[in-house]
Amino acid sequence: MQTTQPAVILLEDGTTFYGNSIGIKGTATGEICFNTGMTGYQEIFTDPSYFGQLMVTTNVHIGNYGVNSLEQESDKVQIAGLICRNFSKSYSSKRAEDSLYHFLGKNNIVAIEDVDTRALVKHIREKGAMNAIISTDTDITKLKAQLKQMPSMEGLELASKVSTKKPYEVGDPNARFKIAALDIGIKRNILHNLVKRDCYVKVFPFNTSFEEIEKFQPDGYFLSNGPGDPNPLVEAQLLAKQVIKKNYPLFGICLGHQVIAIANGVSTYKMHNGHRGINHPIKNLVTGKGEITSQNHGFVVDKTEVLNHPDFEMTHVHLNDSTLAGMKMKNKNCFSVQYHPEASPGPHDSSYLFDEFINRIEKSKSTN
């Protein structure tokens, strides 16, 4: 890696912030967003849902406990770039296998420290998530020209960038349940949660047809989390329609949840600045209980359309802004949530949703 040098952050609205690179020369572009989690930076940086985004961390210290292979949610760093206040090149955790400094270097990720992240986050909260560019080249005129070439996140299909290229299996082939998971940005801990519930999971590329997946003869279908706008994911929407028509058990998380909505004629829209953190409060409208949840999304399902839809029931609501956080179909074996019950990072209040999926599969198998 290179020595530290001045770096600049240029936002789409023309605002600039300054800091210093942690040692990697270069330029990175993406939608700028922030995550409020106090821990879990490695899981956040390797989460495919963050593909193409410039991540601002609100926690002051980043890198202080290093990295280890057990806390990776995918094979590589998925964020486009990192912006933080204080970056630690050393670490103290005994579990760590390497420093975050070396980890980002191996992945060639441009990272900037010494930034007034409180001011930057306040700006994003007020003005909304937007495209930005970070660079060790501080020629603003040049950077403005590059920034103008960037596509908007709205309408952008990114699942194909992070999805597996070919099917693969996870778990014991002799497990009690067979799950077909559509990878539109899947996290490893989702697979771990299914495997520990006695599931054998086959993961399929984002554009796999229903006919191809059905050859696996799964007991249940799962639509994963992922990056970008759900509207361009035509193949995934068609798959959801066909699974629902057959009334097979179907569970969707985050982007998968949005795909299920669109497949049933319910709209999604881009949020002002999204939900990204590990302490978001949710109310389960079925049980009346509250949950603290891990969230990462910039799009959301239209709550009014769900409430007015004859086939849907809202099951969860976000307590900060009353957006829809979960839903189920009234006469079909299908349910979904906007947040992350697998956490990583975050609390495990919502892990019961995986148990609900298994219960639905058991009931389906007993009646067929």
Annotated catalytic residues are 254, 340, 342
Q: What is the DSSP string of 90-158?
A: S---TT-SB-HHHHHHHTT-EEEES--HHHHHHHHHHH-SEEEEEES---HHHHHHHHHTPPPSTT-B-
Count, residues in the chain: 368
CB-CB contact of 270 with 33 (8 Å): no
Query: Chain centroid to CA 195: how far?
Result: 20
Whole-number Å distance between alpha carbons of 353 and 335: 10
C-alpha 282/C-alpha 264 separation (Å) is 24
Asked if 202 and 363 touch (Cβ cutoff 8 Å), the reply is no
8 Å CB contact between 116 and 260: no
Two structure tokens written together for 72:
């990776």
Q: What is the Cα–Cα distance from 352 to 356, expressed in whole angstroms?
A: 6
* Helix, strand, or coil (residue 211): helix
Contact 340, 225 (CB under 8 A): yes
